């Protein structure tokens, strides 16, 4: 049986997530990846990716499109990157963002500062034998996490990768660069 993954397609690097998940699912017959723009798109999904982009814009568009509550109650796994990490938290440093409260953690939205402060780093990530090339673009960081949240990676600025049940969140962009190890770990953790 295949895995059905949706990618929240309101704003951000949607195409990159769709491509990465299609590649990660290539060896799982019957799997599919679809863009999610409305509530009906969430039906029968095993997982949802919330991409990087502008967290305040994505938050506003989720509300406008009636997606906030359905995503907050979504029963599948959530793979959240950059702005997605901000949205999946339960506490955010910006009142313009309405967090989904799916992972108990406090996130600082633009911990890295401006676009020119973006960077790449070889990152030690729990569960990976070799370092992961992490691409940070105006990235957030988690400053603390609640019970049951596994910290997978941190840098001097803060926590940049976590897992909580079937959900994973990253301050960086694992969908860029062609390394699909984190996608595969996420998919393996879905239990489907």
Q: Is 75 a catalytic residue?
A: no
Q: Domains in the chain and their CATH numbers?
A: 4-188 (3.40.50.880)
Q: How confident is the model at residue 16 (pLDDT cuts 50, 70, 90)?
A: very high
Residue-level pLDDT at 117: 56
Task: Mean pLDDT check: name the lowest of 47-56, 92-101, 107-116, 169-178.
Answer: 107-116
Please check whether residue 21 is in contact with residue 51, taking contact to mean a CB–CB distance below 8 angstroms. Answer: no
Helix count and strand count (H, E) for the chain:
5, 12
Amino acid 106: pLDDT: 95
Identify the active-site residue in 82, 106, 167, 183: 82
* Active site annotation includes 175: yes
For the chain, percent of residues with pLDDT exceeding 70 = 95
Position 62 scores a pLDDT of 95
Retrieve residue 33's tokens: 């990846």
């Amino acid at each position: 049986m295949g895995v059905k993954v949706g990618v929240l397609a309101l704003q951000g690097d949607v195409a990159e997530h769709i491509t990465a998940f299609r590649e990660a699912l290539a060896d799982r017959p019957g799997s599919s990846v679809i863009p999610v723009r409305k509530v009906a798109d969430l039906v029968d999904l095993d997982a949802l990716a919330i991409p990087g982009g502008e967290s305040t814009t994505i938050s506003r568009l989720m509300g406008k499109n009636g997606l906030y509550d359905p995503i907050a109650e979504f029963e599948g796994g959530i793979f959240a990157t950059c702005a997605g990490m901000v949205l999946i938290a339960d506490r955010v440093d910006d009142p313009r963002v309405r967090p989904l409260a799916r992972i108990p953690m406090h996130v600082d939205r633009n911990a890295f500062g401006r676009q020119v402060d973006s960077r790449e780093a070889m990152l030690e990530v729990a569960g990976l034998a070799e370092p992961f090339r992490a691409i940070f673009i105006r990235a957030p960081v988690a400053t603390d996490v609640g019970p049951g949240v596994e910290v997978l990676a941190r840098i001097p600025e803060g926590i940049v990768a976590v897992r909580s049940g079937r959900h994973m969140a990253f301050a960086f962009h694992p969908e860029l660069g062609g390394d699909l190890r984190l996608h595969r770990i996420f998919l393996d953790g879905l239990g489907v």
